């Protein structure tokens, strides 16, 4: 008996990398249908031809792979807790049942000296706990996948963020939409980008700052301090502030190194020399000390390490313990959680700063996609991660010019990896 073709709209749409005309997994033949004429299709509807209508062609999460790469930095990056000569990040590739893929990244700064997660722990959490919990799930149901991840893995926001980013990238690629579009659409084409001066030497930092100003790459400078006595740090910041003058702004990041008494002395001295912001001056669990500084001085106090997701953001906002939030996708537990942190800050009248965990171009681009959807970044961003690396792992580098970075175009996160570079820098290459 001849079959009469019937039509159904598939639950997921094919995108780049999807096998058009391939099987749906249920014995039906599928082909793409452009539902408007002209231009590049933003979305496909799939016509399912078969003996009966069953819109069950759900795209599934097939496989999750995580690798560690180690890329040398352009110079030693001296922070209060360590000196970085290499940045290590975890790259995540999620493969979906329709042949599409999604990419994500998890990064931290200085191994376990910065926080409770390292790239090694991120890979372990993904391989051992997250991947088994997610494989077989609906690829488009990111909120459900995130809830599963939170159930399977307590804490570990960087590991969860790396996988969640890859799910958003996959959804974007399949639907033909950028992550920024999935989060409401961008309001910025470019975002201002600060540079971190962290040579550990005033003269070298000044030369670097002047180079950045001359080449119009950066005009906002964050100085990593907290390793030396406070008085020496203030003299160091004063020398750089004097050299930069009105051409830029000076901020400092103490990375939790000060006691409250040191921080009071530091805040007084730094605001007198024109520094505009102090980032995480005291330990992340010293919320009362952070609030005392916020209330006691005109200089802006920024929360960074204390913000490990929306619940922390709520705690800080409830007591207004900081003037500014450094929003980090990895530290927040993913793009959606970072979006929630941003919403809490905006509702509480707390200013915003787009923070980095020194991600490579992939993780940096993912954050930029979200940050581009936020109307105001009062203190700009520091999305310079790839510029600190000696080599580029993206096929097409992010564009930095005129003190800002361009928001990538294209579906998903909007970038692709240079597979040869990734293979060269992957840690397990040495043992193969």
Question: d(Cα 193, Cα 190) in Å, to the nearest integer?
Answer: 9
| Maximum distance among all Cα pairs of the chain, rounded to whole angstroms | 90
CB 257 → Mg ion: shortest distance, Å?
A: 11
Burial class (CB in 10 A: 0-12, 13-18, 19+), 89: buried
Burial class (CB in 10 A: 0-12, 13-18, 19+), 284: middle
CB 430 → Mg ion: shortest distance, Å?
A: 31
Give the dihedral sign, CA 315/317/320/325: positive
Judged by CB, which is closer to Mg ion: 180, or 287?
287
CB 220 → Mg ion: shortest distance, Å?
A: 14
Task: Give the length of the chain.
Answer: 432
Judged by CB, which is closer to Mg ion: 333, or 355?
355
Judged by CB, which is closer to Mg ion: 169, or 304?
304
Judged by CB, which is closer to Mg ion: 134, or 289?
289
Interface residues toward Mg ion, by CB under 5 A: 253, 279, 304
Catalytic residue among 123, 222, 224, 227: 224
What letters, b where the CB count within 10 A reaches 16 and e where it falls short, cover 361-390? bbbbbbbbbbbbbbeebebbbbbbbbbbbe
CB 337 → Mg ion: shortest distance, Å?
A: 18
CB 280 → Mg ion: shortest distance, Å?
A: 5
**Angle in degrees, CA 362, 419, 363, rounded to 5:** 10
CB 112 within 8 A of CB 81: no
Burial class (CB in 10 A: 0-12, 13-18, 19+), 358: buried
Residue 224 is among the residues annotated as catalytic for this protein: yes
CA nearest neighbour of 377 among 209, 193, 252, 219: 193
Per DSSP, 373 falls in state: T
Judged by CB, which is closer to Mg ion: 66, or 230?
230
Active-site positions read: 224
């Amino acid at each position: 008996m001849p079959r009469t073709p019937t039509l159904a709209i598939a639950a997921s749409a094919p995108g780049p990398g999807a096998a058009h005309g391939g099987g749906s997994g249920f014995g039906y033949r599928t082909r793409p249908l452009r539902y408007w004429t002209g231009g590049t299709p933003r979305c496909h509807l799939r016509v399912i031809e078969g003996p009966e209508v069953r819109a069950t062609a759900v795209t599934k999460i097939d496989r999750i792979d995580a690798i560690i790469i180690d890329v040398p930095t352009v110079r030693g990056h001296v922070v209060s807790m360590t000196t970085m000569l290499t940045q290590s990040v975890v790259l995540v590739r999620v493969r979906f049942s329709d042949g599409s893929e999604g990419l994500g990244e998890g990064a931290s700064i200085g191994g376990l000296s910065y926080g409770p997660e390292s790239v090694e722990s991120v890979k372990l959490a993904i391989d051992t706990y997250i991947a088994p919990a997610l494989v077989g799930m609906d690829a488009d149901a990111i909120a459900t996948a995130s809830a599963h991840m939170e159930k399977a893995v307590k804490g570990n926001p960087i590991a969860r963020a790396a996988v969640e980013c890859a799910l958003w990238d996959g959804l974007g690629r399949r639907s033909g939409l950028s992550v920024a579009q999935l989060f409401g659409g961008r309001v910025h084409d470019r975002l201002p980008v600060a540079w971190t001066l962290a040579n550990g030497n005033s003269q070298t930092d000044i030369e670097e700052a002047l180079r950045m100003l001359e080449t119009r790459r950066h005009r906002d400078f964050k100085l990593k301090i907290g390793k030396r006595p406070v008085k020496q740090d203030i003299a160091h910041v004063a020398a750089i502030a004097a050299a930069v003058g009105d051409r830029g702004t000076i901020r400092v990041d103490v990375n939790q190194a000060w006691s409250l008494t040191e921080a009071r002395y530091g805040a007084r001295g730094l605001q007198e020399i024109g520094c505009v912001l102090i980032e995480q001056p005291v330990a992340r669990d010293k919320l009362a000390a952070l609030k005392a500084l916020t209330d006691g001085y005109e200089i802006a106090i920024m929360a960074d390490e204390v913000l490990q997701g929306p619940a922390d953001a709520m705690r800080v906002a409830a007591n207004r313990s900081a003037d500014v939030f450094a929003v980090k996708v990895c530290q927040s537990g993913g793009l959606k959680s970072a979006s929630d942190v941003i919403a809490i800050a905006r509702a509480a009248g707390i200013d915003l700063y787009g923070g980095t965990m020194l991600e490579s171009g992939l993780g940096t681009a993912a954050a930029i996609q979200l940050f581009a959807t936020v109307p105001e970044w009062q203190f700009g961003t520091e999305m310079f991660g790839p510029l600190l690396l000696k080599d580029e792992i993206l096929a097409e580098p992010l564009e930095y010019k005129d003190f800002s970075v361009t928001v990538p175009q294209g579906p998903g996160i909007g970038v692709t990896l240079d597979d040869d570079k990734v293979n060269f820098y992957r840690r397990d290459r040495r043992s193969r």
